[in-house]
Structure 1
Amino acid sequence: MAQPDQDDLPIRTIGADHVALREQVLAELRRRIVDGEYQEGERLTETRLAEDFGVSRNPVREALRVVEAEGFVEILPRRGAVVATLDETAVRDLFSVRQQLETLAAGLAAERATPEGIARLRDLIEQANTAARAEDFDQLAELNSDFHRAVIELSGNRWLHSISAAMYHHVHWVFRAGAAGRAPHSSEEHVRLLEAIEAGDAAAATTAARLHVEAAAAAALSG
């Protein structure tokens, strides 16, 4: 019997299935935190999470390490892992970084945007408005982050894209907490940002992004 050519054999990496399971647990754990299913200060034991997800404790343990490093979970003496609290300092720090990244991205996007990219932003705004009318605030929070990620993609700056990737999980978390009251204002601010980018006006786009982040920060800190 002829032996199969090595190039025709499927490539499997050591531990591929384990990594995939860990990533699934990580994504679900992060989602439940940012959507408020696991609330601030709530204790998250490995046993409890393993039961919630229907997995062994190993991928849960690894996922907890990641969300701790990301700032979603804290390890406290005698309590173990608990969902982190969005205190004022954490929120201010987040918006300080957002302002720097998003104003830079907006100006670059105005210079580099394609018609397809503009259409993508417009579609995300329409989807967000639909979610807001349906009071689907989980979806609205995800679309809010998608809009800002899309602006960063339009900037064409791969460093901005890389640096901001982890940040938008926290943006989602903060936005979701006050989505019901923030939604109409956020939509109007997104439209102004889109219009400036579409017009190719870098200065106006930078200003629109700055004002949007300032308004979002004020809403989050007053909530």
Structure 2
Amino acid sequence: MAKDGKPPAKRLGEQHNSLHDLVYDEIRSAIVNGRLKPGERLVEERLAEEYGVSRNPVREALRALSTEGLVDVSSRRGAHVAHIAPEKLQEIIEIRALLESHNARLAARHKNPVVLKSVEAILLKGQTALSVGRLKSLRDLNEQFHKALAQAGNSELLSEMLGALRARSALLFSPDNPERQALNWKEHAGILQAILDGDEDTAAKRAMAHVLGAGEAHLKALRSVADAESADQLP
């Protein structure tokens, strides 16, 4: 029994789901939510001890994540959280913008009331978190919003493709920038309203503008950091 009177949480090795899936989900979530940073080393022994499993499911999970582009694995350096170069990130942003645009159009066409009610609930949670300053919760809520929106498009293949791209571009929605977060959730509301109105063209345009705008803001921040580092290295 824990000190707070609650039973201790089970480690992954003590649960009954597929260990590979559990470990995969845990590491993927940590990368997407920013708990594991780009370039951070992923040591099999350490992760296995943390999760209460053997090294095999950890190794399998890291291999699966490498196929998604979230983890870099090499025989010499081991496994690290992938660091995506700005030019590659620009490509991901543009592709995601196109797919998010098409998905929003499909969502406006289908107008699935059950799924859209779920999207509305997540939007409200995000707006509430923003209003009270719970910025750290917004990254996860943003993932939930876009995942639910992808389901509203009623295309399993498109939803899977968007999931992979969201993981690679998760840092575009940084919780450290309150102004960008406020704009993100304002744009979320606009996309959802167009979908609820059944306005396919507006939903598609707003979804594309949302991803491109967030992407450009992130790339601008990256360039500013790079310029500052270059200036510091000057004699």
Q: TM-score, normalised by structure 1?
A: 0.82
CA offset digits 1:175-213 (Å, max 9, x no partner): 246554421000111111112111111111111111111
Match of 1:204 among 202, 205, 211: 202
Matched residues in 2 for 1:135 and 1:78: separation? 43
Task: Please list, as runs of the form range in 1=range in 2, the aligned pairs for 1:118-197 lying within 5 A after superposition.
Answer: 118-176=116-174, 180-197=178-195
What residue number does 2:232 align with? none
- Higher Cα radius of gyration: 1
Q: CA RMSD in A?
A: 2.3
- In structure 1, the gaps of 5 or more residues are 1-16
How many Å separate the matches in 2 of 1:58 and 1:18?
16
Q: CA deviation at 1:88?
A: 0.6
Q: Which moved more, 1:76-85 or 1:57-66?
A: 76-85
CA 1:134–1:87: 2 relative to 1, 3 Å: farther
CA separation of 1:141 and 1:57: change in aligned 2, threshold 3 A:
same
Change (3 A) 1:95 1:136: same
Per-residue deviation, 1:45: 1.8
Is it true that 1:28 corresponds to 2:34 in the alignment?
A: no
User: 1:61, CA displacement in angstroms?
Assistant: 0.9
| Structure 2 gap ranges (5+) | 1-14, 222-235
Distance 2:80 2:69 in 1: 11
Percent identity for Structure 1 against Structure 2: 35
Q: In structure 2, which of residues 69, 78, 95 is the aligned counterpart of residue 71 of structure 1? A: 69
- Kindly provide the CA deviation profile for residues 19-77 of structure 1, in whole angstroms up to 9, marking residues without a partner as x: 71111111111122223322221222211221222221111111111111111111245
TM-score by length of 2: 0.78
The count of corresponding residues between Structure 1 and Structure 2 is 207
Distance 1:170 1:176, change over 3 A: farther
The verdict on how the C-alpha distance between 1:81 and 1:142 changes in structure 2, with shifts beyond 3 A counting, is: same
Q: Structure 1, residues 137-169: CA drift from partner, whole Å, max 9, x if none?
A: 453122212222222222222331233232332
